[in-house]
Structure 1
Amino acid sequence: MQKLTSPEYTAFSCKAAMFESELCWFDDACILDMDHFVKRLSSIKEKGVRPDLIGSIITHYASKWLPELSDDDAQKMTANVDESPESVTTSWMKKRFFVETLVGTLPPEKDSIPCNFLLRLLRVANMVRVEPAYRAELEKRVSYQLDHASLRELMIPSFSHTCTTLLDVELVLRLARRFMNLDEAVRSGAALIKVTKLVDCYLAEAAIDSNLTLSEFFALASVPPGHARAMDDGLYRAIDTYLKAHPGVSKQDRNRLCKLIDSRKLSPEASLHAAQNERLPVRAVVQVLFSEQNKLNKQILDFSGSFSGMLSPNMGLDAPARCLSKREINTQQMEVKRLKEDVLRLQSHCMALEGQIEKLMEKKKGFLIWKKFGIPTLRGNKNEEIEREANVGIGLKTPLQMRTRLVKAKNPNKWRKSLS
């Protein structure tokens, strides 16, 4: 095998040897010397090393110094066991100084550090209360590549005493909004779809918390645009979980949440679940049923069109599609209009039934209250109404029928003997 002796190969070999000599200091003996690390890292940057290699050096060093930044759970557990005994305040001050120094050494290229590592670093930064400028820098970097984040690393707990939820929902809301405000050249369509799915999965996990307010849930669910969701199954799951964990949500708020769902984007399984879901308002269930009916009609039309094409004698010569005539278009429009009218009629009927049920429930509550206090006039009024109805019914009968009825009431045994 012939050895390469070109000038480019020689320069590359010399650069690699220099890089290996620069990394010879990277051992466990000097891992705790932060100043030494910053100086050596600056010298490596001056050599023209690629930003991704510098990022790997930083992540490796940070995981060695602070095992909480590692993605290995076993390493985190062993670090907690072998931790030297010292006060909590001293430990937090060291972590705070380390995080602030580490953020200052990050390369200017935003994609040089993995997103999950930045999320773990942001979690520690929020825990030890670093300066707002460093937190803002980390949030900016995370939001730039939020489509590479995992749900596990995104579930950062809330370390603020003013927040009532277990998870830091406000942090995720800021990250999602900043990602949506990026330029379209940076934020591609695939990245937008990934972030939308991530937000829906995060909502489904955060909705279990009973302290999550409706405004927080609605704000985070409204961040992704409507076209970013190819299917609304994830959003429906999050809303159903929230309604299950918050049974006291009013009817108006339920309608407001269900307006976020596009019933046309639900899968058949989700539509079947929504049609049988008692937590959803009646209007949302009717919309789901109407969407399924439209899908079924469309499938029937497609099937009939394909079937008629198969029966055509000139199947190979016919065009793959034809324009509908004006009469057919008018017929379809009239059918759609009729379906809409049927749906509106059903909605009004359902609303009327709901109003009657609410009135009956109020009357039932009032009857129980009167009965609880033992007011005797309630039974008297009921008997008077029954007697009044009976008198009205008797007034409609003829005198002969009234006489026969009175005779039957006085001598019932006599009528039995005569019938026998």
Structure 2
Amino acid sequence: MNQRVQCKNQTTGNDEIALGATKITLGSLQLTWLYQSDDITMLSLQLYGLLMSKMIQEGIRPDVIDASLFRYTKRWIHEDEEGSPSTHEENYQREIIETVETLLSNQIEVLPCKLLFEMLRSAILLEASTKCRYGFENRIGRQLIEATVEDLLTPFQGYACEVQYDTECVKRILKAFYSNYTCSDQSGLIKVADLIDDFLTVVAKEFDLNKDTFMSLLKLSAAASNDLHRTSDGMYHAIDVYLNKHKYHLTESERDEVCQLLDCNRMSSKACRHAAQNERLPLRMVVQTLFVGQLQLRDAITSRIGDSENGSQKEEMTLVGDGCNGEDARMEMEKIDSKVMVLEKECLLMKRHIETGVGEKRRKGVWKKLKRKFGCVISMTDCDCQVNKKVHP
């Protein structure tokens, strides 16, 4: 089951453990039996809890203890059975998961993150105590770097396949991760930020996911990306998926509200090009991405001209697929500056249109005019580009 667990024969200093009238001799107890045999999982919770507590006191390895605890949980908690458990069974299962949580080791990576997520799911479904659920969340958060999107989705899958995303649960897991992350390398932080973006993209496909819940998850993604050298392409992709899935019941103002958390200045040039032709986005967001895209191009040209003048580049400068010299580049930059000025005016004009509630016909006219003015004449059916969600400099 757990590839990290290695079988070794161990004994403790004591020869036996007394459990009421039951005596288990440890001198001949092989740990292979402890976590591979079903014998020990047949014990009642009271006997099993006493046995595990004594073995922890005797210094048995945490990986062996935790592997046995997981097997005991799977033995008594059957989430895949048809029908709901009786009240007595549910109470007993709740007592099991709460007892198991208190016996689990707090060491990192003793039990794989995937198995901890499964235990958290059981605790949520059984409505275990807050202390129990927080205990699992804290252990998960401390090793969140090894989690996958499928793992992060696990706690929110109900008995009848309904999905209820608990944003507070995700927040607590993230808080535990950041509170315990002490590495100076940002790779772990970037990996978790990517994980949240991937999680967002998956849940955005859920038709029943309401706007407020999705925005709460967007805020988590934005917080996870703070102070990191990474693009906001992942968040843009998730928003695009959500707008496409919910395009028939989101108003223009609601779509604009969803996009407010997206930082266009952190989008890559490829994402900006895609967004500029994305008719699912509100007009204000399209204008912003066009503006950012023009500024990125202008900055690139300015940088190339400076390098050319300093003699750092001797080859002929290339711009938009066509060769051009420094003078041509200056002329092109002047044209871009002119376009940016026009774009700023268009932005103000469209903002007035949005605020005054211009009709759909007028909206489409302004859209087409904007696309002609800035050369965005390719339709969405012709543009099938996919945004790279993980672009790091």
| TM-score of the superposed pair, with normalisation by structure 2 | 0.66
Q: Is the 8 A contact 2:232 2:267 kept in 1?
A: yes
Report the Cα offset of residue 265 of structure 1: 2.8
Change (3 A) 1:169 1:270: farther
Per-residue CA distance 1:205-236 (angstroms, 9 max, x = gap): 22223332322222221122433471212111
Letter in 2 for 1:294: L
Q: Is the 8 A contact 1:126 1:159 kept in 2?
A: no
**Alignment partners' CA distance in 2, 1:176 and 1:348:** 42
Report the Cα offset of residue 153 of structure 1: 2.0
Q: Match for residue 211 of structure 1? A: 208
Q: Match for residue 21 of structure 1? A: 29
SS in structure 2 at match of 1:96 = helix
**Alignment partners' CA distance in 1, 2:294 and 2:92:** 63
Tell whether 2:142 aligns with 1:144.
yes
Per-residue CA distance 1:334-353 (angstroms, 9 max, x = gap): 99986654332121233456
Q: Match for residue 220 of structure 1? A: 217
- Residue of 28, 42, 53 corresponding to 1:42: 53
Q: Match for residue 368 of structure 2? A: none
Letter in 2 for 1:116: K
Change (3 A) 1:256 1:359: closer
Structure 1's unaligned 5+ residue stretches are 1-14, 69-75, 313-332, 363-420
Q: Match for residue 284 of structure 2? A: 283
**Alignment partners' CA distance in 1, 2:208 and 2:343:** 37
**Alignment partners' CA distance in 2, 1:270 and 1:141:** 36
Report the Cα offset of residue 17 of structure 1: 4.1
CA RMSD of aligned residues (A): 4.0
**Alignment partners' CA distance in 1, 2:131 and 2:149:** 25
Change (3 A) 1:50 1:160: closer
Q: Is the 8 A contact 2:138 2:173 kept in 1?
A: no
Q: Is the 8 A contact 2:137 2:169 kept in 1?
A: no
**Alignment partners' CA distance in 2, 1:168 and 1:354:** 33
Report the Cα offset of residue 63 of structure 1: 4.3
Q: Match for residue 51 of structure 1? A: 62
Per-residue CA distance 1:217-270 (angstroms, 9 max, x = gap): 222211224334712121111111222233333333333332322223333442
Q: Match for residue 256 of structure 2? A: 255
Determine which structure has greater relative contact order: mean sequence separation of CA pairs < 8 Å that are 6+ residues apart, divided by chain length.
Answer: 2
**Alignment partners' CA distance in 1, 2:92 and 2:270:** 52
SS in structure 1 at match of 2:29 = helix
Q: Match for residue 199 of structure 2? A: 202
Change (3 A) 1:94 1:348: same
Letter in 2 for 1:21: L
**Alignment partners' CA distance in 2, 1:183 and 1:137:** 14
Provide the identity percentage.
Answer: 25
Give the number of the structure whose residues are more often helix, by fraction: 1
**Alignment partners' CA distance in 2, 1:249 and 1:201:** 23
Letter in 1 for 2:31: L
Rg (Cα) greater in structure: 1
**Alignment partners' CA distance in 1, 2:258 and 2:84:** 49
Report the Cα offset of residue 181 of structure 1: 5.9
**Alignment partners' CA distance in 2, 1:236 and 1:289:** 15
SS in structure 2 at match of 1:129 = coil
Per-residue CA distance 1:288-309 (angstroms, 9 max, x = gap): 1222222223333344444452
Q: Is the 8 A contact 1:167 1:206 kept in 2?
A: no
Change (3 A) 1:133 1:183: closer
Q: Match for residue 119 of structure 1? A: 117
Change (3 A) 1:113 1:360: closer
Q: Match for residue 381 of structure 1? A: none
Per-residue CA distance 1:147-193 (angstroms, 9 max, x = gap): 322211221336599xxx72323354433552376266379733332
Letter in 1 for 2:251: S
Change (3 A) 1:307 1:116: same
Letter in 1 for 2:349: H
- Residue of 178, 182, 186 corresponding to 1:185: 182
